[in-house]
Amino acid sequence: MKMDMILVEKVIGLFLTLFVFSYLIKPGRFFRIAEHIFLGLNYGYVLVIGIKTFYSVFWVNVFEKEMYLGLVGLFLGVLMYSRIIPGIPPSYRRFPMAILIGCSVGLAGTMSLEAGILQQLISTIKLPLTTAGLLTNSSNLIYMISLFTSVFYFTFTWKGGKVGENIRLLGRYFVLVMIGVLYGNVIMTRLPGFENRMRVLATPEGLVIVLVFSVIYYANHVYDKRQTQERVESPLD
C-alpha cells in the first residue's frame, strides 16, 4: 500500500513538473492547471495551519491559561476583517494595522542600530586589521578598494573632476560584479530543485511519463490549432 502511494505521488509529481516545464514552449493550458492546483493547495493548507495556530496561540492561552489580555488581540484581529463588511469606516481597520506596524518597527528599530549598523561598521573597519597572511592581505586590499570606490560611486553631489570620475567608474564595476554574483547565486539557489526533478525524470518511469506527456501535449496542440482555424474560417458575424 505504501509503495503504491509512493508511485502515485511520483507520477503526479512528474506530470506537474512537466506541466510547469511546458511554460518554456508556451504558457498554455497545462501550465495553468499546475498553477491553479498549486495555489489552491497552498491556500487550503495555510487556512488549516491558521486555524491550528489560532487554537495554540489564542484559545489555549485565553481559555485554559486564563491570559485574558489575548481578548484584546482577538478584538484587533477582528477589526482587520472589517474591510469585508460594507459601510464600516476605513479607520477601524487602520487602527490594528497601525498597532501591528508600530510594534514591529519599535522592536526592530531599537535593535537595528546596534545589530545592523554599529556592529557591521566595526567589523568593516576591524576586518582588514585583524586578519593576516599574504592571500588574506591581498583580499583585504581588494576589499578596501572595492569598499572605498563603491561608496564613492554613490556620492553624486561632488563630481571630483577626472580622478573622481575614474574612481566612480571603478566603483561601478565593483557594484556590477556584486550584482552578477547575486544573480548567479539566485540561479544556483534554484538548482537543487531542478536537479531533483531531473533525477526523477531520468528514470525509466520518468521517461515513460515524458513520452505520455509529449503525446498529450501534441494532441492538445493539434486540437488548439484546429479550433483556431475553425474560428477563423467561420466567424460569428
If binding is defined by CB under 8 A, does position 27 make contact with another protein? no
Under the binding rule (CB under 8 A), the answer on residue 55 touching another protein is yes
Say how far residue 152 (Cα) sits from the centre of its chain. Answer: 31
Cβ–Cβ < 8 Å for 69, 61: no
Contacts of 148 (CB under 8 A, 6+ apart): 167, 171
Which one, 59 or 223, has the nearer CB to another protein?
A: 59
Interacting stretch for another protein, rule CB under 8 A, among 43-51, 158-166, 167-175, 225-233?
Answer: 43-51
For residue 56, the minimal CB distance to another protein (Å) is 4
CA dihedral of 190, 191, 197, 203, whole degrees rounded to 10: 180
Grid cell of 83 as nine digits: 474591510
CA distance 120 to 102: 25
Residue 201: which residues within 8 A CB-CB, separation 6 or more?
A: 14, 17, 207, 209, 210
The Cα–Cα gap between 177 and 158 comes to 24
> Min. distance of Cβ 22 from another protein in angstroms?
12
- Smallest gap, in angstroms, from Cβ of residue 79 to another protein? 17
Q: Which of residues 148-187 bind another protein (CB under 8 A)?
A: 181-182, 184-187
Tell me, residue by residue from 68 to 97, as one string, x for binding to another protein by CB under 8 A and - for no binding.
------------------------------
Binding mask 182-211 for another protein (x = CB under 8 A): x-xxxxxx-xxxxxx-xx--x---------
* 68-74-79-80 Cα dihedral, nearest 10 degrees: 140
- Pick between residue 72 and residue 88 the one whose CB is nearest to another protein: 72
Q: Return residues touching another protein (CB under 8 A).
A: 24, 45-46, 49, 52-53, 55-61, 64-65, 67, 100, 103-104, 107-108, 111-112, 114-116, 119-120, 122-123, 127, 181-182, 184-189, 191-196, 198-199, 202
